Amino acid sequence: MANHPPLAAVLLLHGGREAGTGPPPFGPLNLPAVRMRPFRQAVTKATLPAGVLVRSVRYTCRGWNGPREDPLHDAVRALDALRHEAGDVPVVLVGHSMGGRAALRAAGHPLVRAVVGLAPWCPPEDPVEQLGDRDVVLLHGSHDRVTSPRSSRALVGRARGAGARTCLVTVEGGDHAMLRRAPLWHELTAALVTGLLGRNALPDAVSAALRLPPDADSAQGAFGMDALPRPYAVARTEARS
């Protein structure tokens, strides 16, 4: 059977630290990377029949490191490598915590169609212009004590004003490590990725949020995960070219 070129790609970015110039730990000692494994498995399972590449970013350092922004540069290099491997395919970035910040910052890369941020780190001073004409869906646990759900809400409002299509889903009882209600985190993330790539229908509430006008209030397009009926994506559509 002939190998067909990939139609799209997903790039996963795990979390890290605010500062740390040493390399990330190897293997199971790298807990932020371990946390992303079930997300990779869920996304791979959901996208495998559709010819979608799933890759993960490898960081040179374990921290953001202020103006160095090391994970951002790692993300851009990974996107350039994807382009070399697969051509100009649409890419969805899926990032947790520090990886969410890197994904949002790298979204201006020409391959990027959408960002799914999992408990993302969203400093108020970070730019949002690079998110224009992108889909941005953030998931944040209500009990997160590491990154701020309020900052995620503010980010979707600022990004919408900059021309992004945005949505915020609150995971009631969810924590930063995404261990509480873990299967729901995994299932919804996979549904969002396939929906944003046009392989399945997005949940109605998410689609409605992404259609809001740029001047919509930040509270609009924000709702709880429990407001979404399961299964999150049930209607398969024709794959986009």
Query: How far is residue 165's CA from residue 207's CA, in Å, rounded to a whole number?
Result: 10
pLDDT higher for 125 or 28? 125
The one-letter amino acid code at 31 reads L
Residue 232 lies in a domain: no
Residue 237 lies in a domain: no
Residue 147 lies in a domain: yes
Residue 129 lies in a domain: yes
Label residue 76 by pLDDT band (50, 70, 90).
very high
Range of the domain at 191: 8-227
Please list, in sequence order, all residues whose beta carbon lies within 8 angstroms of the beta carbon of residue 232, skipping any fewer than 6 positions away: 187, 188, 191, 192, 203
> For position 145, which CATH number holds?
3.40.50.1820
Query: How far is residue 87's CA from residue 212's CA, in Å, rounded to a whole number?
Result: 32
Task: Say whether pLDDT at 239 is over 50.
Answer: no
Label residue 147 by pLDDT band (50, 70, 90).
very high
Residue 114 lies in a domain: yes
Residue 84 lies in a domain: yes
Q: What is the pLDDT of residues 17-40, one digit of tens each?
A: 999 999 999 888 999 999 999 999
Residue 191 is predicted with a pLDDT of 96
Nearest in space to 104 (alpha carbons), one of 124, 84, 90: 124
**pTM score of the predicted model:** 0.94
Residue 148 lies in a domain: yes
Residue 2 lies in a domain: no
Question: How many domains are contained in the chain?
Answer: 1
Please list, in sequence order, all residues whose beta carbon lies within 8 angstroms of the beta carbon of residue 179, skipping any fewer than 6 positions away: none
Strand partners, 13: 95
Residue 218 is predicted with a pLDDT of 79
Q: What is the pLDDT of residues 102-116, one digit of tens each?
A: 999 999 999 999 999
